[in-house]
Structure formats: structure tokens, C-alpha cells
């Protein structure tokens, strides 16, 4: 650790606002010009048709591409600066899969302790709210109210899709009820972050029994530090290999809606700040995979 002037206005601002400070220690640049191409069909986006027909026919093809110039920074490595007790020091902080996956498994730990019948009830409820935003909002509100009802929890609904879960929760011990409400709320928060098309694609994936492989793919994506600077990278191409081409196209469309473009050979392009969107997708996949009893 090295001494630092804690009275400096910049340091005081950092400590007051809680902003984290990083140093770029290494950059990865393109050694030569490269081109990234994407082919789309004029008949409409595949992702919006997939869950109804899974066989969109192209009427004409449109090729879009971006050119990555020589010397363009593709990625960088960072080290966080820690300021404490009048001194500062460097400690490399690796964000991504390890931190995110650990948090998700911890937040969803209650589901693995449930009986198969209750897991099925929660799964059916989550599938129902994925199809209906009003149900999603109602369930979220009810679960958020549970910790505030200290003198007994009363769960009522007009929606038949929620009645089975509410009836079970109504008769659960207080400590178990709080754990279930917390876990369900965590999952619902992730579903709120996903687009409507993604929710429908996830339901189709569940029926096609490909959620387990999609989970591994998205976990692989999170290892590439999407939160900081990685724009172009490769994922394990084997995770994009499905028995049916429709499954691969569905998966690519699902991930694309979270801001990461994938090609069949594993080449990936992050188009925007994708970390939170991909993490939310991982939560959804992890929960569906766990509750459905997929291997």
C-alpha cells in the first residue's frame, strides 16, 4: 500500500459517491483489419417467428457487416485501486462468471431443497407469468409484500395460474415462506429484465429440452468479463452444436436479445452493455433448468 492524500477533492468525491477506480494494465488490439458479417432474412426477424413456426423461410438475404480496423482495442485488463487508511494499493479483481454464478446459486438455493411436487408447482407458475405480464407483476407484488406481513400472510388471487402456489405458500412455516418469497422474487426480478420475445423463446427452449445446454453456453459467455471491455471473443463452439438446426437458431436469437451476437463457429460480438442482460438470462435458465429437473 502507498500513502495517499485523503483531503484531495477527487479522493473525497470517490469516497462520498462510492465510485470504484480502476487502472488499465493491458490492452488487446487487432493486429490487422477484420470484418464481422451477419446475414438476416427479409421475411422478418427469426426470433419473433421461432416460437410459432420454427421454420421461417427467407425470401431474400441481407448481408450486414462491420469492419474492425487495425489497431482497434478489442479488450483490456483492469486492476482495481483500493483506498483505505490513508493509503492505496492495487488488487486484481476478476468479475464475471465466478462471482455471478455463485450469487445466483446462493439466491436460488431454496429451490433445490423442495419436494418434486412443489418444484413443479413453482415451475408451472413461472411458466405462466412468463406468458402474461400482468401475472408477472401480480406475483412480484405479492412476494415483495410477504416480509412486511408479520402477523400472518394472506395470499389471494383471481388468477387460477397463481392459486396452486399461493395455497401452498399460505400453509408454509414462516421461515420457509420468507425463503421461498425471497427466491421467487429474485427470479422474477430477472424475468422483468428480459424482453417479451426472450420469455417466449425460453418457454420454447424448455419444451425442446435444450435449456441445460443453453445454460452452459450463457455461463461460458459470462467468463469473458462482459462487464469490462471485452467486445469480440470466442465461446466454446461445441455449446452451439445442437441435434437440430432450429435449436441452434433459437439459442442464437435468445442470446442476441441480451446484446451478444453469436456465430455458429463460436465467434461472439458484444454490441452494448450486455453484462446485466446476460446475467438475467442466466438466472432464468438456471431456475428453469433446476425446477424442471434437467441434467
State pLDDT tens for residues 68-87: 677 666 555 555 666 666 66
Provide the strand spans (E) within 21-85.
21-29, 34-41, 61-68, 73-84
Residue 190 CA, chain-centre distance (Å), reads: 7
Flag whether 53 is in a domain.
no
Count Cβ atoms below 10 Å from residue 227 Cβ, excluding itself.
17
The model's confidence at residue 153, banded by pLDDT at 50, 70 and 90, is low
Q: Of 119, 157, 120, which Cα lies nearest the Cα of 135?
A: 157
Q: Of 36, 97, 33, which Cα lies nearest the Cα of 265?
A: 36
Whether residue 235 is found in the same domain as residue 272: yes
Whole-angstrom distance, CA of residue 288 vs CA of residue 43? 31
Flag whether 149 is in a domain.
yes
pLDDT of res. 43: 41
Whether residue 77 is found in the same domain as residue 219: no
Whether residue 232 is found in the same domain as residue 294: yes
C-alpha angle 196-200-204 in degrees, rounded to nearest 5: 165
Whether residue 110 is found in the same domain as residue 89: no
pLDDT digits (tens, 9 = 90+) for 217-227: 999 888 876 66
Tally of CA atoms within 13 A in the half-sphere of 68 that contains its CB: 18
Whether residue 118 is found in the same domain as residue 264: yes
Q: At what angle do helices 174-193 and 116-131 cross, to 10 degrees?
A: 30
Q: Which of 58, 93, 128 is the last residue of a domain?
A: 93
Q: Of 156, 117, 124, 131, which Cα lies nearest the Cα of 51?
A: 131
Whole-angstrom distance, CA of residue 45 vs CA of residue 158? 36
pTM: 0.70
DSSP 43: T
Whether residue 6 is found in the same domain as residue 147: no
Looking at per-residue confidence, does 268 or 226 come out higher?
Answer: 268
Whole-angstrom distance, CA of residue 171 vs CA of residue 133? 26
Whether residue 23 is found in the same domain as residue 99: no
- 135: exposed, middle or buried (Cβ count in 10 Å: 0-12, 13-18, 19+): middle
The mean pLDDT of the chain is 78
Looking at per-residue confidence, does 276 or 240 come out higher?
Answer: 240
Flag whether 59 is in a domain.
no
Whether residue 106 is found in the same domain as residue 88: no
Containing domain of residue 218, as a range? 95-295
- Identify any residues that bridge with 82 across adjacent strands, giving them in sequence order: 89
Number of domains in the chain: 2
Amino acid at each position: 500500500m502507498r500513502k495517499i492524500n485523503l483531503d484531495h477533492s477527487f479522493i473525497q468525491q470517490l469516497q462520498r459517491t462510492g465510485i470504484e477506480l480502476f487502472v488499465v494494465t493491458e490492452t488487446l488490439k487487432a493486429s490487422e483489419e477484420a470484418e464481422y458479417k451477419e446475414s438476416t432474412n427479409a421475411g422478418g426477424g427469426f426470433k419473433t417467428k421461432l416460437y410459432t413456426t420454427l421454420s421461417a423461410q427467407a425470401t431474400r438475404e441481407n448481408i450486414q457487416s462491420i469492419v474492425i480496423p487495425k489497431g482497434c482495442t478489442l479488450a483490456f485488463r483492469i486492476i482495481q485501486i483500493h483506498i483505505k487508511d490513508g493509503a492505496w494499493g492495487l488488487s486484481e479483481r476478476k468479475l464475471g462468471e465466478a462471482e455471478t454464478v455463485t450469487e445466483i446459486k446462493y439466491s436460488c438455493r431454496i429451490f433445490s431443497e423442495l419436494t418434486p411436487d412443489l418444484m413443479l408447482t413453482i415451475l408451472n407458475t413461472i411458466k405462466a407469468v412468463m406468458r402474461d405480464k400482468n401475472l408477472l407483476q401480480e406475483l412480484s407484488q405479492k412476494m415483495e409484500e410477504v416480509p412486511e406481513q408479520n402477523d400472518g400472510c394472506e395470499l389471494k388471487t383471481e388468477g387460477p395460474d397463481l392459486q396452486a402456489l399461493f395455497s401452498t405458500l399460505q400453509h408454509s412455516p414462516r421461515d420457509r415462506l420468507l425463503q421461498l418469497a425471497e427466491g421467487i422474487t429474485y427470479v422474477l426480478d430477472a424475468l422483468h429484465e428480459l424482453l417479451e420475445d426472450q420469455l417466449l423463446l425460453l418457454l420454447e427452449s424448455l419444451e425442446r429440452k435444450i435449456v441445460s445446454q443453453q445454460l452452459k453456453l450463457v455461463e461460458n459467455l459470462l467468463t469473458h468479463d462482459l462487464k469490462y471491455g471485452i467486445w469480440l471473443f470466442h465461446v466454446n463452439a461445441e455449446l452451439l452444436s445442437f441435434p437440430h438446426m432450429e435449436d441452434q437458431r433459437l439459442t442464437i436469437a435468445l442470446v442476441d436479445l441480451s446484446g451478444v451476437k453469436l456465430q455458429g463457429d463460436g465467434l461472439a460480438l458484444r454490441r452494448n452493455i450486455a453484462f446485466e442482460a446476460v446475467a438475467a438470462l442466466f438466472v432464468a435458465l438456471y431456475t428453469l433448468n433446476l425446477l424442471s429437473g434437467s441434467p
